[in-house]
Structure 1
């Protein structure tokens, strides 16, 4: 009964964390309390888990980066470290524990995640019908949630995963339901939010996932390759003939030659140009403080302390639009290495679901997708990225965590 109660809280978190945060936070609090109960009862087991060790390392790293900022930039350093920035990204451990390695619970969680994203568009939009009609007419729509890239990112992974399940499901009625109520809405949001990095991530992930999973599992599924590549070719053809996508892709084409020339002074402060200027400024900062970075506020300091970026740009932006660069600037190469290890741990964990390649495929999809979108936006340090990581990673890591805990029980 207690496990069922905790699972209900996990679903509540997935449904409301971003759609209606006050209610989502209540469910999250119950999950934390439930996990603390596990820690109290089985501290010796929990403390040996690899992800839990990484959680404690993230706290240590946050403190070391803050201490480094006190010595390196005392006039800009914060009064205390904010350990929540990185530790919030490890909430997936709590979810993984209560899923108990149950694939049915994992699938339900991911479906509820999709519903939660669609509910977010509905609850945040000032006029959902107007947004839908404006999106169809070719306007870029953000549904009043952070900005258009965020809801596009949340929906992008739904589109990838639901496409996989649409092919995988056997009963035709299940395929139809999934397509109508999950795949089509996610495709619509991905299209009207017009996130070019989202489209790029979907394209690369679609091509790479069947190849990488075949290599990792040492099983080449010709049927899957043919289906996915055929779908990709068809989708690319349709996209190239869709005016919304065509116009968005051709936007800013004129500054690409300027960027390639390397003349920073000539790059305009357009959407793409701003990113290039920010990343250039961050490189200089990273060279000064490569190992530990200078804490969580660094992404803002890089912009504010720059002598090259115009004042009006400084007033408008507070982050670097690249999650990987922000991670290195804030927590150094040690922080970046920590999350590289987490990615590899999640990929390794997916192999503990022995039935088929389902979890391996989804983990490959998500990591590829998340790494690519973070090249152009700072999802690491927004609730959007935290929510994505905790839901998807939680559903993958549960198989490794459950296996390890059961092995320890048997040994005892």
Structure 2
């Protein structure tokens, strides 16, 4: 009789860590972002394995992120002592610490117990997004769209909704071709139809939210991916996949149906109207930069005015900044802004400027170092054969998309920005963590060197 193997406490903790990490993307949507308990549990489990496993402690990015978090809190203590009370935000920098390090927790959740396919993180996120959209009165949002207004789909606002639709559209665009690997032709056709329908829905969401920064970010992301694909040998694999009749016919049919629906919904007209809604010219920029009351309350004028004022605040405290969420009090205390402006705007609509004001050059440099390290990990994972081509292209496309949209909104301060940053970068970095100790390419190079040594 076979005896049932007992699970050790260590294995149980590893299984729990993995389960919570994979559940996080879905649970976040179910709870509308109220995931404080699961966040704390994940962090506690991560710290347990950090002290237990040497390979985690030796990870330079993990060590740097811990040091960066400590730096933020040391800055907070300095700001608490030196920033005047009426200008100090009074909030600890936990949102920045989470934003720039929690992706590591999700990444390690895919390897601490067993090697779990990182795509499960994206699958949970997509199911959560669909659940969220169904939960928040989809009929109402359709009616709002048909009335010609911008739609937020239950998110904080249309801009925050737009980044989710844009990210989901990129995921489907880059990874939808994987359905071609299904062996059963009927299943493959059904999956292909589902993928095309989901892509059309996400694209509709991108249009309905009418967020121009998302449109610009997607354009930059797709151009970046196209250039990289050409540098890596062209788009031949995609063309081979598409030209097969079993793929081409459903795709063509879906494209025709989507075009008819988009025309019926006046999508081209709405996009054109949104792009022409605000004319940004030299005179508009000058008026906003001079804090002219007429230009301040427009979308572009408000951003220009805020970005013009921010360098003055940064120059006063360039090294360690004013503190997290101090921007609102700085705006309120600045006499160049009207009372109406102060009542309407409380942040800088740019994550990079917001970070410079909040944590200064030192903290901002740490943020750039973390992003640069993620970019390096993408390259290393690709070079060592641990990251598929589509994930490699998606990684750089998302970096560009995320970089663009954060130039026009302070997503760094909100739970929506934290979620996307954690899940997508957690997905990307998991491939780096799961790479083999020695890649075939490295093994071949080492074998060549050994042969040369023997020959000598």
**TMscore range, shorter length:** 0.7 to 0.9
| C-alpha distance in structure 1 between counterparts of 2:274 and 2:297, whole Å | 17
Partner of 1:301: 329
Moved more, 186-195 or 132-141: 132-141
For the 8 Å contact 1:117–1:151, the answer to whether it is kept is no
Match of 1:41 among 42, 52, 74: 52
Q: Give the paired residue count.
A: 393
Partner of 2:144: 134
* 1:12-59 Cα shifts (integer Å, max 9, x gaps): 2101214414774444344233323312422x4433322222322322
CA 1:204–1:226: 2 relative to 1, 3 Å: farther
CA 1:241–1:129: 2 relative to 1, 3 Å: closer
For the 8 Å contact 1:210–1:224, the answer to whether it is kept is no
Tell me, yes or no, if structure 1 residue 276 matches structure 2 residue 304.
yes
CA RMSD for the aligned pairs?
3.2
* Structure 1 unaligned spans of 5+: 408-412
3-state SS of 2:281 partner: helix
Paired residues for 1:89-100 under 5 Å: 89=99, 90-100=101-111
| C-alpha distance in structure 2 between counterparts of 1:77 and 1:299, whole Å | 8
Partner of 1:178: 195
Match of 1:256 among 261, 281, 299: 281
Match of 2:424 among 348, 371, 392: 392
* 1:99-143 Cα shifts (integer Å, max 9, x gaps): 1298862112112212222333333x3x32021232244321112
| C-alpha distance in structure 1 between counterparts of 2:199 and 2:36, whole Å | 28
Match of 1:367 among 391, 395, 399: 399
CA 1:132–1:105: 2 relative to 1, 3 Å: farther
Partner of 1:221: 234
CA 1:289–1:187: 2 relative to 1, 3 Å: same
| C-alpha distance in structure 2 between counterparts of 1:225 and 1:336, whole Å | 39
For the 8 Å contact 2:56–2:62, the answer to whether it is kept is yes
**For the pair shown, which has the larger CA radius of gyration, 1 or 2?**
2
For the 8 Å contact 2:73–2:93, the answer to whether it is kept is yes
Partner of 1:244: 270
Tell me, yes or no, if structure 1 residue 198 matches structure 2 residue 214.
yes
Q: Give the C-alpha shift of residue 333 in structure 1.
A: 1.8
Q: TM-score, normalised by structure 1?
A: 0.85
Partner of 1:381: 413
| C-alpha distance in structure 1 between counterparts of 2:47 and 2:116, whole Å | 25
CA 1:260–1:30: 2 relative to 1, 3 Å: closer
Paired residues for 1:17-166 under 5 Å: 17-21=28-32, 24-42=35-53, 44-70=54-80, 72-76=82-86, 78=88, 82-89=92-99, 90-100=101-111, 105-123=117-135, 125=136, 127-166=137-176
Q: Give the C-alpha shift of residue 79 in structure 1.
A: 9.1
| C-alpha distance in structure 2 between counterparts of 1:349 and 1:198, whole Å | 26
* 1:342-367 Cα shifts (integer Å, max 9, x gaps): 22211222232515323221211211
Moved more, 239-248 or 360-369: 239-248
* Structure 2 unaligned spans of 5+: 1-10, 183-187, 241-250, 440-456
